[in-house]
Amino acid sequence: MSTITTADGTEIFYKDWGSGQTIVFSHGWPLSADDWDTQMLFFLHHGYRVIAHDRRGHGRSSQTGDGHDMDHYADDLAALAAHLDLRDAVHVGHSTGGGEVVRYVGRHGESRVAKAVLISSVPPLMVQTDANPGGLPKSVFDDLQAQLAANRSEFYRALPSGPFYGFNRPGIEPSEAIIENWWRQGMMGGAKAHYDGIVAFSQTDFTEDLKKIGVPVLVMHGDDDQIVPYADSGPLSAQLVKNGTLKTYSGFPHGMPTTQAETINADLLAFIRA
């Protein structure tokens, strides 16, 4: 098992397959590197080196009690990039992973980064504030923490069965295999990390990080995203970066890298090759 140990002693698990230009994948909450299986195999077969890590407290990485915030997530990603001496890498983040990518570039610079992709991602800011009136009320995220604390296993069945993949929409046939894989990944991680992670993904303001990014950024977002609502996320992020392109997917859900992998992979490949 490949791991690195960060400055504060946290062990971070990662996969590193293939050769060629590097693509680094950052997963969503509360999942793991396994959520990128489809993308990693796709790009591996197209001649790329693909890397994905388990965020601290998630998957096979250490279940630390502290450090479940965006600065630590970004520092862990920077430690991985330095350890592997990555150059001209394309960083792809889904949901919370998109926030991780944005904070990483904003905090550590672009010297190792060629491009970035934000899929269904949490920036600029999810929670509603005076400066972000279109955000979701804090009570929404407090309720998520309450459900996690009360019965994490049940909560982790309900979320993928409903809004995460749009399986609660009329006419959509739920996939039990996808739901079970989501639950499996979630239950591999630590409750404390996932509880604190809700605050990290919902209350971190990435506005200033986005303004620092100069490399090309592709923002991919479905307009039926029930987890990170479209109007207050994707279009705003694309406007804040210097070289951003917004691609909107009509009717696609939050978990579109899984449920619409063929479309997402093709668009990712076109952006990376451009």
Residue pair 34/6 in contact (Cβ under 8 Å)? The answer is no
Catalytic residue among 26, 61, 62, 95: 95
What are the distances in angstroms from CA 78 to CA 86, 186, 194, 218? 10, 24, 21, 21
The conformational region for residue 252 under phi > 0 = left, psi -120 to 50 = alpha, else beta, is beta
Angle in degrees, CA 117, 235, 196, rounded to 5:
65
Catalytic residue among 69, 75, 76, 225: 225
Parallel, antiparallel, or unpaired: how do β-strands 49-53 and 11-17 relate?
antiparallel
Parallel, antiparallel, or unpaired: how do β-strands 11-17 and 3-5 relate?
antiparallel
The verdict on whether 85 is a catalytic residue reads no
The verdict on whether 95 is a catalytic residue reads yes
The verdict on whether 225 is a catalytic residue reads yes
- Catalytic residue positions, numbered: 95, 225, 254
